[in-house]
Amino acid sequence: MLTSLDFGGAGPELHFANANGYPAAAYRRLLRALTAYGHVQAMVPRPLWAGSRPEGTRTWAPLVDDLVQYLDERGARGWIGVGHSLGAVVSAAAALRRPELFRALVLIDPVFLPPVVLAVFGLFQKLGLAGRVHPLARGARRRRRTFDSAQAMFDRYRRVPVFGRLDDEALRDYVAAALRPGPGRRLELAYSPEWEARVYETGPLNLWGALHRLRPPVLVVRGAESDTFHPIAVRALRRRLPNAVVREVTGAGHLVPLEKPDETARLIREFLAGVTMNAA
């Protein structure tokens, strides 16, 4: 049986799917806030499985398989699916494959690249050049993987621009989730650079042709400064999912659930309250 983290709460079952390289525990403040609405849990994803290796992964489809298996093992019907980035795409793909699993979907800054960008990147993938042209894949492979302490990682990452909008509490949550005991007395990244790079190289899934078939009510939350969920993609999504609720969070980028956890949680709770009322 696939394992998970249980964040507690009572009420509707809510599953959270994390972004590439960001273990679910990094979202502690967001998920704690969501326990006021339901029972929050998060499957431990394949890159965090003991002994798992990324070499055989060629697409994001196995990650979708894992989520469907996890939900089936728990007899899921009508759960709430919440996902960030990679997790949003995986959740949407699972809902397209098995609509009965979800009563509602929340997609936080999903990796829905504009169709023309997907087409160009797909060409690089066919040529075997994805790892060379994807800047995040190159960066992941160069990432420092061991640290003397959590404080050492915090101090280093506090200076990294991508984490500039995270407050100290959010960054400490990320650091605590990211590290595990390593060789000697050092700590190492739980989410290996090889897995992180492989996910970037093999994705994202192209769901544009299928999005119109999504049955559950959908909330899409975008960081207003996101460099991932581009306004072109937002317009494409609105055309394919005219009934989706789209909300932007000002002063936030792609890491909106870590940068603005309280506001993100408020938008989700308001949406889910409406879904519950309409269902009644």
Q: Which two tokens stand for residue 107?
A: 């997609």
Q: What is the pLDDT confidence band of residue 280, given thresholds at 50, 70 and 90?
A: very low
- 97's tokens: 């494959």
Is it the case that residue 279 has pLDDT exceeding 60? no
* pLDDT tens digits, 105-122: 999 999 999 998 988 888
| pLDDT, tens digit, 9 for 90 and up, residues 243-269 | 999 999 999 999 999 999 999 999 999
Q: Which CATH number is 130's domain given?
A: 3.40.50.1820
For residue 169, count CB atoms less than 10 angstroms from its CB and return exposed for 0-12, middle for 13-18, buried for 19 or more. Answer: exposed
Domain with 248, as residue range(s), is: 4-279
Say if CB 225 and CB 46 are below 8 A apart: no
The pLDDT tens digits for 186-232 are 999 999 999 999 999 998 999 999 999 999 999 999 999 999 999 99
Number of domains in the chain: 1
Confidence at residue 56, expressed as pLDDT on a 0 to 100 scale: 86
Return d(Cα 104, Cα 255) in angstroms, integer. Answer: 22
